[in-house]
Each structure stands twice: as C-alpha cells, then as structure tokens.
Amino acid sequence: MAGLKLATRTKRPPRTDSESTLNFIPTMQPKLVDEPPSGDGWLHEIKYDGYRTQLIIDGGQVRALTRNGHDWTEKYGPIVRSARGLDCSSAIIDGEVCVQNEAGATDFHSLRRAITSEPQRLVFFAFDLLHLNGEDLRFRPLEERRAHLRFLMSGAVGPLHMSDEYDGDGAAFFALVEGLELEGIVSKKKGSRYVSGETRAWLKTKCWHTDTFDVIGVERDKTGIPYALLADENAYRGAAFIALPAALRDIFWHYVECRGIPSSSVVLPKRKDATWIRPGLRARVRHLKGSDKLRHATVNGIEVDDS
C-alpha cells in the first residue's frame, strides 16, 4: 500500500510500570447474509470454525481472551508461548483458535477435547490487528491493519498463522470454500475501520447442508421455544429449531401428542425435559456443515410414516 510505513524488526523493550496496560476490546462481529457481496470493494477470508480469541501482548506478558473477554491464557499455553516471541512491545491481535484435521480443515468437534487434553494441536489464525507498539490501529483502513499484521506475523513460529485473504469475486471464492466443505467465508469491506459489535462492514456467508433425520423427541428451551431432537441411524445427532409453516406445524404437534412413547431401539440422550416419541416422523433439516453434531439447525419440512 502506497505510503504505508511498517514497523521495524527491532524488538522494543518491555513497558515500564508507569505505562498503561492494554485491556480487552469488544470484538467486531460480521453480519450473517445469504450470499457474499459482489464487486471489487471487498476482501474475502475463510471463516474458521473455532473460538474467537484476542491475544494481548503487553509489557512482556501475553494474555488470551475469549470473545466475551474471559481469560483463557492457561488453556492456550502453546499459543501464548509462541506469541511471546513476536517482535513487538505491545499488540492486540484478533483471531480464531482452532484444531485442524488431516486435510487441514478446521475441526470444531475436536476443539474442546484438544483444549483440555491435546493443547499441542491448537492453532491460532490471526486476521486483524487492533494495536501495535503503543498505537491504536482501529481507525486505520482494513488493508493497512492487515499489512502491519502480516509483517508482524512473518516472524511467527509454531501454532501462529496469518489468515490469508482473497481479493476477487466473492461468489467464486464462496463456491470454492463450499466445495471444500468448509464452514463459510467472511467478506470485509476495503477501507473499513475496526468497530466493536455487529456491523455490515464485515459479512459472513455460511455453507449449509440439508439432510433428513428421524425425530425422536421434542424439547423447549428456557424461553419456551421448541426444538426437535433428531437421530441418524439410531444415534443422536442434535436439536433443531422448528421453523415450519402453520399447516405442517399442526401436523408435527399432532404427531407428538398422539405418539409420545419412545422406541426402545433408539439410543436416547440424557435430557430430563425432553418428550420422547415413537418412530415414524422424519424432518428435513438445514444445518451448518463440518460437525458430527447438528449446529445452527432448522427444521423446514417433515415426512410422516402412516404405516
């Protein structure tokens, strides 16, 4: 970028006690959309399937904070140790902690187990830089923040990685990501500032899949919203929000009321507030790809076996 002056490679001395301490900055959240934006005014990145994490480097110390600002430094030991080696006196790096499978795709299903028992599998993908060496970068354009971040991450080792961007057609990039069965993409408006909270300057487009599952029960959450409990080949797969039109919704609840006896052949999960039903009701479910358990799932159709 013309006129951009990057930090030198000389590592600055640690801060003194008289200097301010960096604090957590609420994260910038992308708006969910059905299709990626068109035109050349956007940069596109893979949407990593993990835990949003903010690395704060300050005065020789490194902290790792969750999306809600909780301190998970102890849980992310290998990442924190690697971050101590970055050539800066202070920085706030926005990114995602993930686990990758053998194909290199992020594996959300294995992430929690890795945090507790296999921390060496954790990787951190950095995608934005909010602060560097005493300077607040949030008001700088996206491309400038990422240029500083790329320079900083060029000296990273171990589990620290830079999230690459694609400067081209969003629909074509999304089709490629969908073909690889990844979670989706995040499109970021060129020239945009970093603003905490949800914003349309960042847009996320998710890869979805539709499957049919057996409805084995229903359950309501604390607010009373109903969910269908679903199984696949006698194994529990998860819950899905019931979003049916009125006519199908009536058929669904009539079936639940009349056939509320579970089948002994179905392996039922331990859910004390569930109502179990006999087999014969199947649901067409739209859900997020990339996990053994259903995520962000919605029932949008049903089939009833009248036999």
Q: Round to whole Å and give the CA distance between 172 and 70.
A: 37
- Alpha-carbon dihedral of residues 172, 177, 178, 181, nearest 10 degrees? 160
Alpha-carbon dihedral sign for residues 121, 112, 53, 20: negative
The Cα-based distances of 53 to 93, 112, 190, 294 in angstroms read 8, 14, 23, 23
Q: Round to whole Å and give the CA distance between 110 and 67.
A: 19
Query: Of 11, 31, 47, 75, which is the active-site residue?
Result: 47
CA proximity to 125, closest of 149, 89, 90: 149
90, 7 contact by CB (below 8 A): no
- Catalytic residue check, 47: yes
Q: Which sequence positions are flagged as catalytic?
A: 47
